[in-house]
Amino acid sequence: MTLYAHKNFLFFLPLICTYYFIKTFLILKGLLSLHLPPYEKTAHNYDLQDIIQINVKIEMILNRLIMNSGHVCFYRSYVATSIFRRLGVPVQINIGLRGLEGMQNCAGGHAWITLDKQFLRDEKEVTHLYPFELGMDDSQGINYLVGRKANKHLLRVKQPNRSFLNARDT
């Protein structure tokens, strides 16, 4: 009976793998085709803690869906922004960029969202990594920042400092 079950499992394994591969592909494709509503600065009186809690839930769902597909912070920020703006909450996407030492044409970065310059997830230390304001795309509500050149390996080492862990996400 056990042997029979084992054979069945081996028979279905490629099908299961194919199913999860297609599912992940469709989820990522769906996330990328999500329309980002325009950024409108509106007066609002939301409780920031409520927004943070909603953001945590969105992240939990997204982390399960996209797992370690790379650029997690960008997908997370993009989807959360898309949802919040549909709900009328004018959140901003911030994109931090930095060159990597010894690597031409290669940049590291991080993405995070803010509401009225208040952080929903990442701590303020992230601004130390990307301290210089580069420009703002007002129509999309995307704020670009830039940091000093960094060593890629330093950014990838697991450090107790949260700011380095945030940078690993990208």
Partner 1 sequence: MPGIPEALNCEYEPTTDVTWRDVDGELVVLDLIEGKYYTFNLVGAKMWRAIADDNYNLILLVDEIVEKYKIERQTVLDDIENFLHKMISAKLIKVKA
Binding status of residue 135 toward partner 1 by CB under 8 A: yes
37: exposed, middle or buried (Cβ count in 10 Å: 0-12, 13-18, 19+): middle
In angstroms, the CA 53 to CA 121 distance is 10
Between 46 and 144, whose beta carbon lies closer to partner 1? 144
Phi and psi angles of residue 138, each rounded to the nearest 5 degrees, phi first: -65, -35
CB 142 within 8 Å of CB 136: yes
Binding status of residue 132 toward partner 1 by CB under 8 A: yes
In angstroms, the CA 7 to CA 149 distance is 54
Going residue by residue from 71 to 90, which x/- string records binding to partner 1, judged by CB under 8 A? --------------------
Q: How far is the CB of 151 from partner 1 (least distance, A)?
A: 14
Between 51 and 94, whose beta carbon lies closer to partner 1? 94
CB 94 within 8 Å of CB 100: no
Between 90 and 109, whose beta carbon lies closer to partner 1? 109
Binding status of residue 141 toward partner 1 by CB under 8 A: no
- Candidate residues 52, 65, 146, 165; the one interacting with partner 1 per rule CB under 8 A: 146
User: Interaction with partner 1 in 26-55: which residues (CB under 8 A)?
Assistant: none
The strands making up 92-100's β-sheet, listed across from edge to edge, are 118-119, 103-115, 92-100, 142-146, 132-137
Binding status of residue 96 toward partner 1 by CB under 8 A: no
In angstroms, the CA 79 to CA 36 distance is 8
Q: How far is the CB of 68 from partner 1 (least distance, A)?
A: 24
Q: How far is the CB of 98 from partner 1 (least distance, A)?
A: 8
Summarize as ranges the residues that interact with partner 1 (CB under 8 A): 95, 97, 99, 107, 132-137, 142, 144, 146-149
